[in-house]
Amino acid sequence: MLDLIAALGLALAVEGLLFAAFPDGMRRAMYEAAHSPSDQMRLVGIVSAFVGLGIIWLVRWFA
């Protein structure tokens, strides 16, 4: 459970840094995401989930 909370905190920290460093770019990215087709968003979500699981698996395997 502590790992989950730490991961959520890290995700918020990275996202916050991106918004602070590139506010206009993040606004454009959010606009494009809001106007993307649902199928494309679903595919990006599935790919992102598998990449994230792969990274977690690699870190746990080699740590």
pLDDT in tens, the chain (63 residues): 888 899 999 999 999 999 999 999 999 999 999 999 999 999 999 999 999 999 989 998 997
Beta-carbon contacts of 19 under 8 Å, excluding residues fewer than 6 positions away, are 26
Angle in degrees, CA 48, 54, 55, rounded to 5? 90
Provide the sign of the torsion angle of the four alpha carbons 52, 4, 22, 25, taken in this order.
positive
Structural tokens at position 63: 């740590």
Question: What's the confidence (pLDDT) of residue 63?
Answer: 79
Question: What's the confidence (pLDDT) of residue 3?
Answer: 86
CA distance 47 to 57: 15
Number of domains in the chain: 1
Count how many residues are written for the chain.
63
| Domain housing 49 | 2-62
Contact 21, 29 (CB under 8 A): no
Please tell me the pTM assigned to this model. Answer: 0.72
Question: What's the confidence (pLDDT) of residue 7?
Answer: 92
